[in-house]
Amino acid sequence: MNSIDLVRLTKRYGRVRAVDGLTCTVEPGRVTGFLGPNGAGKSTTMRLVLGLDRPSSGTATVGGRPYASLDEPLRHVGALLDAGAAHPARTARDHLLALAHSNRLGVRRVDEVLAETGLTKAARRRVRTFSLGMRQRLGIAAALLGDPPVLMLDEPTNGLDPEGIIWVRELMRRLAAEGRTVLVSSHLMAETAQTADHVLVLGRGRLLADGPLAGFVGSHGSLERAYLELTAGAVEYTADERS
């Protein structure tokens, strides 16, 4: 099974519990929206799954194995965490070629993902000349490179124009329909409502909800209303505190 399994996953930074006893399973064959206010712990959770940070306690596994134990990890898990991850002096194609090489993937796959993300014409341009939206597309191209059964995308629509947002939505839906596990964090409720089958909601590192989108929205009328009601007590910064 290509699920992502979190068991009592906890990460403390000093006194902050960024992730606090998180237990849940992200299942294949559906898009799981990963929601929560700023600072709720979404990115930290993804970093823990990818072995970029060590849990204080608990475990995060992909297909039953810790990410660090995977050979050629791009073939197992594709991730978009930070659209600024590519070296600015490299061309888009060289960036993908380096990643492909380290995971024994062929050049043909690089050209395929460039085409799939609409970057073929920009492939030989340096990343520093890319707009935010183009960087997002390059990050998504990197995530798709190993044709992985599991994808984790942190706010993939950031910086994308309306056409790009629709493209991401359709891509997520297709990847899930192919039986892949797709975890997508977002602050865009209307977009998530159109993309996700299932939602996980975090607040202050804790799991506030884990269920099908339709059940979560329930009688609230919209995902946004259901979300705001659930997270009202879990928002780190309010306008009053800022002023």
Q: Would you tell me which residues interact with ligand ATP (CB under 6 A)?
A: 13, 16, 18, 36, 38-44
**What three-state secondary structure class fits 81?**
coil
19 beta partners: 11
Structure-token match 């975090």, residue found: 202
Q: State the nearest-atom distance from the C-beta of 40 to ligand ATP, in Å.
A: 4
| Residue 17 or 75 with smaller CB distance to ligand ATP | 17
Q: State the nearest-atom distance from the C-beta of 106 to ligand ATP, in Å.
A: 34
| Residue 26 or 40 with smaller CB distance to ligand ATP | 40
**What three-state secondary structure class fits 97?**
helix
Q: State the nearest-atom distance from the C-beta of 74 to ligand ATP, in Å.
A: 23
How large is the angle between the packed helices 92-102 and 132-144, nearest 10 degrees? 20
Give me the sheet containing 181-185, strands edge to edge.
77-80, 150-154, 181-185, 30-35, 198-203, 206-212
| Residue 70 or 235 with smaller CB distance to ligand ATP | 235
| Residue 93 or 198 with smaller CB distance to ligand ATP | 198
Q: State the nearest-atom distance from the C-beta of 188 to ligand ATP, in Å.
A: 12
| Tokens of residue 206, six digits | 């804790």
For the chain, the helix, strand and coil percentages under 3-state DSSP, each to the nearest 5 = 40, 25, 35
| Tokens of residue 28, six digits | 């294949």
Q: State the nearest-atom distance from the C-beta of 41 to ligand ATP, in Å.
A: 4
| Residue 15 or 121 with smaller CB distance to ligand ATP | 15
Q: Which helix (H) or strand (E) holds 4?
A: strand 4-13
